Amino acid sequence: MSSSTDCLQRNHNFARIPVEEETPFIVLYTEKLKDNCRRFRHAFPGAKIYFAVKANNHPAVIQILRDENINFDVASWGEIYLLLQQGICQERIAFNAPSKIPREIKKAFLAGVDTFTFDSTMELEKLAALAPGSKFLVRIAVDNLGSFYPLDQKFGMGLEEALNSFRYAKELGLIPYGVTFHVGSQNSDPQAWVRAIEKVAALREGLASEGIELKVVDIGGGYPVCYREKVPEIEEIAAQVNSAVETLLGGDIELWLEPGRALVSNTAMLVTSVINRAQRGENEWLYVDAGVFHGLIEAWDSIGFEFQICTEKEQDSKKRFVLAGPTCDSGDVIGRNLSLPDSLTLDDRLYILSAGAYTNSLEFYNGIPFPRVILAPADAAQLSTNYRPEEIEK
Ligand SMILES: Cc1ncc(COP(=O)(O)O)c(C=O)c1O
């Protein structure tokens, strides 16, 4: 165990891993989470931090963040419900998903959530109808250069469109509150935030000329974490962001952040075991008991995050493996050219580091339940003596 422990301590300073627990499991290190909160608060003094619940919705994570005075950015009623269950008050919740399910807007509004984001005319009309008189943030499009996982195709309004939307939303009785953006997840270029803040400054000028005041600039998420490559520290990003906010927007605007990955990634480790090993042509394959469908979707080819992996055989000679999950799906591959100990065999453990973001939360991702299965009415009639839909859903 010593080399693995060294490896883990060197990279994450993690103390203990339960040896008796059956794999796969994710170990959460709550002190690390508290440290991350403190670092963010210290780097952005006076800012309001909204944790993006989609990154990790475990109740223990939510409780710690609640007690650390962190607020919450949510994507659905499901996430709001989780937060209310943990005693978090509505004022600490912002419903910032740009495309919300209509009935969920209404539920959120009736529950007392009063801050919403939109990035389209249809969404703003939905808000005016279902959450009348609420405060709103407009999400603008910004370049996602420097991001490993860009979001700029799917989200955000141009500045002209945003300006028109502020006018229209105000006419419909919503309350202009702020502007938000996302520079793309895992963004290693601090200037990405600065360029986006420049856009906010231009929009703010246009709004001011119409008597609309911006109370908040919400600079979103995207703060990078170290998987295998070194990335800028949060303090480095903060220095450039704080200075841009000061010079481009002045002091009289509230700064909000929505970190997801950076608050939770290094707080957890996914522990898996080898369940099979086989030579397939030129490649040697190693199969473990958790893969892209069970927590590691970000390792999937078309996303491509490269997690750091430790074993208890670090001193042994290495060879290249294709590392795969347990499912019967050929896409369930965690990495295609990974250097791992040649001696790895059945039941050996693999420790997947920095597995606290977008892993366990995929079970109820964005707080949106999986589609139910119902039987078409005619089929239900035929099967009614043997089968009931509720049984199929189990
Ligand atoms: C609206 C919003 N805010 C914040 C985040 C968190 O981003 P990250 O995990 O890159 O910090 C996301 C992620 O998709 C998001 O959609």
In a domain, 334, yes or no: no
Question: Which of 73, 119, 155, 180, when mutated, tests ligand 1's pocket best, judged by the most ligand atoms within 8 Å of its CB?
Answer: 73
Q: What is the pTM of this model?
A: 0.93
pLDDT of residue 12: 47
Instruction: Please say whether the beta carbons of 17 and 222 come within 8 A.
Output: no
In a domain, 269, yes or no: no
Q: Which atom of ligand 1 is nearest to the CA of 149?
A: 10
In a domain, 372, yes or no: no
pLDDT of residue 282: 97
- C-alpha 55 to ligand 1 mean position (Å): 8
In a domain, 256, yes or no: yes
Q: In total, how many domains does the chain have?
A: 1
What is the C-alpha separation between 254 and 63, in angstroms, rounded? Answer: 25
Q: Which residues contact 239 (CB under 8 A, 6 or more apart)?
A: 190
Ligand 1: which residues within 6 Å by Cβ? 52, 55, 73, 96, 182, 185, 220-223, 258-262
What is the C-alpha separation between 358 and 297, in angstroms, rounded? Answer: 8
Question: Which of 115, 140, 185, 218, when mutated, tests ligand 1's pocket best, judged by the most ligand atoms within 8 Å of its CB?
Answer: 185
Q: Looking at ligand 1, which residue's alpha carbon is closest to its atom 14?
A: 185
The span from the first CA to the last CA of the chain, in angstroms, equals: 41
- C-alpha 312 to ligand 1 mean position (Å): 34
pLDDT of residue 5: 46
pLDDT of residue 269: 95
| Structural domain of 236 | 30-264
What is the C-alpha separation between 184 and 384, in angstroms, rounded? Answer: 49
In a domain, 363, yes or no: no
Each of the 394 residues of the chain gets a pLDDT tens digit; together they read 334 444 554 444 444 688 889 999 999 999 999 999 999 999 999 999 999 999 999 999 999 999 999 999 999 999 999 999 999 999 999 999 999 999 999 999 999 999 999 999 999 999 999 999 999 999 999 999 999 999 999 999 999 999 999 999 999 999 999 999 999 999 999 999 999 999 999 999 999 999 999 999 999 999 999 999 999 999 999 999 999 999 999 978 999 999 999 999 999 999 999 999 999 999 999 999 999 999 999 999 999 999 999 999 999 999 999 999 999 999 999 999 999 999 999 999 999 999 999 999 999 999 999 999 999 887 777 775 555 555 544 4
The candidate with the shortest Cα–Cα distance to 102, out of 71, 76, 78, 79, is 76
- C-alpha 200 to ligand 1 mean position (Å): 18
Angle between helix 77-85 and helix 59-67 axes, rounded to 10 deg: 70
- C-alpha 52 to ligand 1 mean position (Å): 6
In a domain, 375, yes or no: no
Q: Which atom of ligand 1 is nearest to the CA of 97?
A: 1
Q: Residue 113 belongs to a domain with what CATH number?
A: 3.20.20.10
In a domain, 283, yes or no: no
- What's the gap between Cα 131 and its chain centre? 25
- Phi, psi for residue 265 in degrees, rounded to 5: -50, -55
Q: Looking at ligand 1, which residue's alpha carbon is closest to its atom 7?
A: 221
In a domain, 308, yes or no: no
pLDDT of residue 380: 73
